[in-house]
Structure 1
């Protein structure tokens, strides 16, 4: 019995085998907590300066275009230069932007416009950095440990998503913006010092320089691989139809449970964390395409149930189940990407991933808000969940290779495993 329970615990092999993975895991945790401080303080500071919900919402608008544009360029850049250097320089840039926030918050009358400039700058640097980070994993972790590494990374993010905002909220509420931004600066200094210790990760021989042609080459590769195309399409569909976070305040009000709003935002992360803590079985899974489809289907069904029920506790349970489904789908997607994409294209494909995960939730919030205004809050949620299930089913039928993907027989996965090396161990 004990051995069976132990088999469910996260596989720690990537920690033991790769020094660079340990560095990136710790650096990511530190960066996340520093970033959350700013993520909580920044919109609250805009609210205090303007008193306008529209002014707060405008922050998302100024972030979207830089994230998409620099995400695509960052993907091409990650294939052309040392990915570790990209991470160090962008991390340092994010730290400098945190200094701007700190200095501005210390003025007798803080200015509004630097807050939007920083928000756009953070989105641009995050877009440049994310492809380098995502594409680095397969270079520093043994091929047979990629699924375990994805689960450990997810565990880090989900733990941070639950504890980080709560801690940041306390700091901002009781100490103010200056200590929050100062904490962000300190975290980025520590992060840069850790990133400087990473082993060099030079590009492959004859790597192409960043260009529109190179970006288009990555897009053509993704389009020619039904398995990859399916992972992107399923994620987009799930987020577009069933991402109702923007209308949670209205749902809490309709259920006469304003106290539950924070729990609604945290519930999904709780469900994801449970999956991460019991992810030991993922290392023994071969059919990762099934994880993508079943996880996204479970996400849609749980969101539909959350919109259908009028009991707030059942709503929270459904949102937790939705988070669990999303985590299963995310583990499948991440593993397929790392197992199949050639290293010379990995950065550009990670850039396309940035496009996928940034546009889906943004458009999903627009859909949820528009539907809520037209049909009501709860119908907007449950119809979106059902539409998610239907669209995922249609995509699975249209792209059957996603369902039949097997890490042991897929040609791309076998080719990648044959050429894989993991420096920095």
Structure 2
């Protein structure tokens, strides 16, 4: 029974991973608090939904543009040093946010610039940071390490906004931004204590040529490309978040508490799946697991679009959130293990960009379809299209379907 629960062995066997997990978990909570504080400050300054939407744009543009650059850097320089310097820059930006709030500068442009700066340096360091579990843990624990990281992210999504409301209500903007700075310092300390992590294997090009070579590797690898296509099918065709306000208005009277339950249900499903992820992380076939999880995601969201009672809608969203977590864990482990270290930074950067852009485009698709038809049709048709797409991927990609870690991947310690 215990093998079905969250595997915490990475926290026991690797002090370096344990420090990293604690530091990045605190940083994730601090990031959520700061995100709410930024939205609150922008709204107080402008009272414009356009400008609060611009906060997302200020984050998304550098995340997409600099993510691929970060991947090329991760395959060219020591990854610990790269993450250390990018985290230091993010810490400085966090202190800048606190300073502008303390001094009551009142500059929207400065606020958005600091937000974009944080996001940009985060994008530069993210691909290198994602390679840490496979370098710190043995082959059999990589998936468990990724599961622990994803669980802490989901927990931060649940706890962070509530803490932000408490801090903002009691003490205001400056302490909220300082909490992020302190949490970032904890993550930076954990990274400084890591061993050096230069990329192994022969380098393959520099600058744009290195990025192109990373793309070529993804195209050649049926396993990695299949993992990414599966994720794109799930997010582009079935992402439901943009439909929540409309469905809430049409079926449940527009109650804001119900809208909050929709968002919480997905996160609750993710947390539950994280606590019960032992079976997933011990699976020898992460490609097949991701395919089943992505198909379940699509089916659950199709049901969400059809059902009437609130409890059934919430149950479908909990199932979708759980399936998403299983998909993220299995994909992350398979990508890290199936990619040679010489290309791991660039391949991981593509995963990062897909993770940022895919859901946003998927939400846009959902909104367009809902505008032309209805929100219920957009949710149901998107979920069914996702399910069909996953069946096609599984039928046409034998390598992904039959991928086995024990057979196809050498232990990193032996590489």
TM over 0.5: yes
Residue 66 of structure 1 pairs with residue 27 of structure 2: no
Instruction: Tell whether the 8 Å contact from 2:280 to 2:289 is kept in structure 1 after alignment.
Output: no
Distance 1:362 1:292 in 2: 21
Aligned partner of residue 26 in structure 1, secondary structure: helix
Contact 1:101 1:181 in 2 (8 A): yes
Tell me, in whole angstroms, the C-alpha distance in 2 between the residues paired with 1:251 and 1:310: 10
| Contact in 2 for aligned 1:74/1:347 (Cα 8 Å) | yes
- How far, CA to CA, are the matches of 2:398 and 2:344 in structure 1? 23
TM-score by length of 1: 0.93
CA distance in 2, matches of 1:109, 1:378: 45
Distance in 1 separating the partners of 2:302 and 2:20: 37
Contact 2:205 2:213 in 1 (8 A): no
Deviations 1:328-369 (A, max 9, x none): 111211121122111111101111111211110110111122
What is the correspondence of 1:14-413 to structure 2 with a 5 Å cutoff? 14-108=10-104, 110-204=106-200, 206-207=202-203, 210-254=206-250, 255-256=252-253, 257-410=255-408, 413=409
Shift of 1:292: 0.7
Aligned position for 1:419: 414
CA, structure 1 residues 244+120, in 2 after alignment: closer, same or farther (shift >3 Å)? Answer: same
The CA deviation string for residues 368-407 of structure 1, in whole angstroms up to 9 with x for no partner, is 2222222122222222111111112222222222111122
| RMSD over aligned Cα atoms | 1.7
Contact preservation (8 Å) 2:84, 2:191: yes
TM-score by length of 2: 0.95
Aligned partners of 2:336 and 2:348 also within 8 Å: no
- Mapped to 2, the partners of 1:128 and 1:154 lie a distance apart of 20
> How many residues are paired up?
413
User: CA deviation digits over 1:256-298, x for unaligned, max 9?
Assistant: 1321122211211211111111122234311111111110011
What secondary structure is seen at the aligned counterpart in 1 of 2:404?
coil
Contact between 2:223 and 2:338, CA under 8 Å: does it hold in 1?
Answer: no
Give me the whole-angstrom Cα distance separating, in 1, the residues matched to 2:206 and 2:12.
Answer: 35
Please give the alpha-carbon distance, in whole angstroms, between the structure 2 residues aligned to 1:309 and 1:173: 38
Which stretch shifts more, 323-332 or 171-180? 171-180
Moved more, 390-399 or 20-29: 390-399
* Bigger mean CA deviation after superposition, 382-391 or 206-215: 206-215
Report what 1:423 is aligned to: none
Kept after mapping to 2: 8 A contact 1:71/1:351: yes
- After superposition, the Cα gap between the structure-2 partners of 1:417 and 1:261, relative to the gap in structure 1 and judged at 3 Å, is same
Distance in 1, Cα, partners of 2:412 & 2:187: 31
CA positional deviation for 1:75: 0.5
Secondary structure of 1:80 counterpart = coil
CA distance in 2, matches of 1:104, 1:22: 34
Query: Structure 2: 5+ residue runs without aligned partners?
Result: none
